[in-house]
């Protein structure tokens, strides 16, 4: 496994709400809050994407969760889960730059929640 992200960079805390289903209108419903610590939030992301519904969205930020340092240890994430860091965001994409040595960190691409 690669070296973890420096603890100096992991100074943020956020909340994660996993998707539990859809309501009668097709909007996601969320489960119990999970408090995330030692994560990194960046808001200067400029990536324009087309989501599955055909709607065009701009990524509003990214959250980095280190597999060695961030807490809770072993946390997993789901697409369309909600991240709260000042504002509410939805997880558009989950990337883990894993190599032969294992997962180093997870990058969550975030779009604004409507």
Q: Is 31 helix (H, G, I), strand (E, B) or coil?
A: coil
Which tokens hold the place of 75? 């946390």
Instruction: Tell how strand 28-30 and strand 56-66 pair up.
Output: unpaired
CATH 2.40.10 fits 12-112, yes or no: yes
Residue-wise pLDDT for 13-69, tens only, equals 999 999 999 999 988 899 999 999 999 999 866 566 565 666 656 788 999 999 889
- Whole-number percent of the chain with pLDDT over 70: 77
Q: Which residues contact 10 (CB under 8 A, 6 or more apart)?
A: 38, 39, 40, 64, 66, 69, 70
pLDDT of residue 53: 63
Q: How far apart are CA 38 and CA 59, in angstroms?
A: 22
Q: Is 45 helix (H, G, I), strand (E, B) or coil?
A: coil
pLDDT of residue 67: 85
Which tokens hold the place of 40? 């990194």
The answer, yes or no, to whether residue 99 has pLDDT greater than 60, is no
Residue-wise pLDDT for 80-96, tens only, equals 999 999 999 999 999 87
Beta strand ranges found along 25-112 (DSSP E)? 28-30, 34-42, 48-50, 56-66, 82-85, 87-95, 105-112
Q: Is 67 helix (H, G, I), strand (E, B) or coil?
A: coil
**The model's pTM:** 0.80
Q: How far apart are CA 57 and CA 89, in angstroms?
A: 12
């Amino acid at each position: 496994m690669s070296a973890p992200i420096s603890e100096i960079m992991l100074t943020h805390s956020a909340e994660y709400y996993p998707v539990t289903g859809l309501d009668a209108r097709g909007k996601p419903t969320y489960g119990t809050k999970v408090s995330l610590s030692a994560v990194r939030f960046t808001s200067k992301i400029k990536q324009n994407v087309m989501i599955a519904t055909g709607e065009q969205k701009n990524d509003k930020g990214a959250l980095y969760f280190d597999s060695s340092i961030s807490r809770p240890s072993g946390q997993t994430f789901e697409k369309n889960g909600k991240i709260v860091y000042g504002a509410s965001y939805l997880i558009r994409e989950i990337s883990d730059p894993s190599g032969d040595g294992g997962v180093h960190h997870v990058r969550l691409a975030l779009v604004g929640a409507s």
